[in-house]
Amino acid sequence: MSFQPHYWTDPMKEQFDIEIESILEVDGHFHIRINEKVAKPASGGQAGDRGFLLIGEKKYEFIDTILQNSHTALVMKNSPTSGKGKTILKLDMLWRKAMMANHTSEHILVGAMKKKYPELKLGKIWIDGTHGSVVLEGRTIPLQEVLEIEKEVNNLIHDSIDVKTKVVTADEVNDTVRAREGVTSKNDMIRLVNVGEFDSSACSGIHVTNTNDIQIFKIIDVKAQEENTHIEFVSGAIAARRLAEVYNVALTRKYSYPFEMEQLGAILDKSKTLQLAYDEAIEKLFQLMDEGPSKEKLNEVTFWHEYLPGFEVGTTRHLIKELELEVPSVTLFLSTGKKINIIVWTKGMPKDASHYISEIVESFGGRGGGSAESYTGGFSEVENPRELFLELIERVKERILE
Ligand SMILES: [Zn+2]
């Protein structure tokens, strides 16, 4: 079938003898029209080929390939002055192979997604030699589900499945084939790309011939927008490099701050918690400098209460012992270090410290105990410690006023 471009049947051939048909200057670039369909033009969400022309001793780089009135044109920054003489076109095979891997990954990813969520529609896609992206329309897919499908895509890649193409007539295309709307009515002949038995899709792009050539598939971003899911991914050597980069960021810190790689998630969570506590501590510092300690008089009793973000229970206890407490007084400190702890200290009060706090702590799911003048308690799984603190204060106030 002579109408098939070269890159459909032999995508790994990298060098061709060609002829230049015309040179056109457009917006500071040059469009070099050539006589053979050997470089793939940008179309259908896939970037064009890159490479260079060799004319005599001189080398001219092209940065894109486009379709110009159904002719192939190379886009250049610097153009040869004339197209006379022997001209060799050499493709940038790193760019092309990366496109082939990214594009075939896209087929497998979308095929797997459609099997799991048949209602999904394929929206905009973009594939080039650095990465790929797809918009899946019709629903948002949770990250965990997307990552499950990533695993499936990698399994299919490692199954070494042959990717075969064939050109068929439009009426041979049934609904087991993924095709964009209108494809079969606009074209008499359709090119099918089959990833083994797994997926069949109408496509005019370039693909690897076996899934094993993709090596690795890695999703690098997932965004939910309205009813759509945007997925960005890389594959092959680029994916391997990206994975190594991320791994090494963790590895170079493994020894200065000892942790096991498996704990990376927990460490990130902890760093977020610490940052939050630090921000709160700064806020607390401002409040103390501005308003002084939070003390109020309840009849004769001084009630002093402070929220101490990031403090550990030992530090809080130490602090409270150092402070000069008025008589009579009730002092309540809530600390939010590794655990949420409460310390209540009384001076010259008619009842034991526990009387003012014990039942209240228990009513919020906490536990504690103490001696005559002090009580220490703790809570597990508090969602909003500051809110808890405010409620505790109110309840203790009522107790003091009883
Ligand atoms: Zn394709």
Question: 128 CA distance to ligand 1 centroid (A)?
Answer: 12
Instruction: Let me know how long the chain is.
Output: 402
Question: 289 CA distance to ligand 1 centroid (A)?
Answer: 65
Question: 243 CA distance to ligand 1 centroid (A)?
Answer: 25
Tens-level pLDDT at each residue, the chain (402 residues): 346 788 888 899 999 999 999 899 988 899 999 988 999 999 889 999 999 999 888 899 999 999 988 899 999 998 887 666 679 999 999 999 999 999 999 999 999 999 999 999 999 999 999 999 999 999 999 999 999 999 999 999 999 999 999 999 888 888 888 887 777 777 888 899 999 999 999 998 899 999 999 999 999 999 999 899 999 999 999 999 999 999 999 999 888 878 888 888 998 888 888 888 889 889 999 999 999 999 999 999 999 999 998 889 999 999 999 999 999 999 999 998 889 999 999 999 999 999 999 999 999 999 999 989 999 999 988 889 999 999 999 999 999 998
pLDDT for res 3:
66
pLDDT for res 217:
98
**Tokens 């990376």 correspond to what residue?**
264
Both tokens assigned to 153: 């895509």
Question: 193 CA distance to ligand 1 centroid (A)?
Answer: 7
**Tokens 């197209």 correspond to what residue?**
83
Question: 102 CA distance to ligand 1 centroid (A)?
Answer: 10
pLDDT for res 2:
45
pLDDT for res 84:
67
Identity of the residue numbered 203: C
pLDDT for res 381:
83
Of 56, 127, 61, 129, nearest to 90 by C-alpha is 61
Cis preceding linkage at 80, omega within 30: no
Compute the distance between CA of residue 63 and CA of residue 179 in angstroms, rounded to an integer: 30
Which residues place a Cβ less than 5 A from the ion ligand 1? 203, 205
pTM (two decimals): 0.78
Question: 45 CA distance to ligand 1 centroid (A)?
Answer: 10
Q: Mention every residue, 6+ apart, whose C-beta is less than 8 A from residue 66.
A: 31, 41, 42, 48, 73, 75
Compute the distance between CA of residue 57 and CA of residue 314 in angstroms, rounded to an integer: 79
- H helices present in 33-135, as ranges: 93-116
Q: Mention every residue, 6+ apart, whose C-beta is less than 8 A from residue 230.
A: 133, 134, 135, 136, 221, 222, 223, 224
Crossing angle of helices 93-116 and 143-158, in 10° steps, is 120
Q: Mention every residue, 6+ apart, whose C-beta is less than 8 A from residue 391.
A: 364
Cα Rg of the chain, angstroms = 34
Compute the distance between CA of residue 102 and CA of residue 127 in angstroms, rounded to an integer: 7
Question: 107 CA distance to ligand 1 centroid (A)?
Answer: 6
Q: Work out the number of other CB atoms within 10 angstroms of the CB of residue 183.
A: 16
Question: 223 CA distance to ligand 1 centroid (A)?
Answer: 23
Residue 180 to residues 125, 190, 265: CA-CA distances in angstroms? Answer: 12, 12, 40
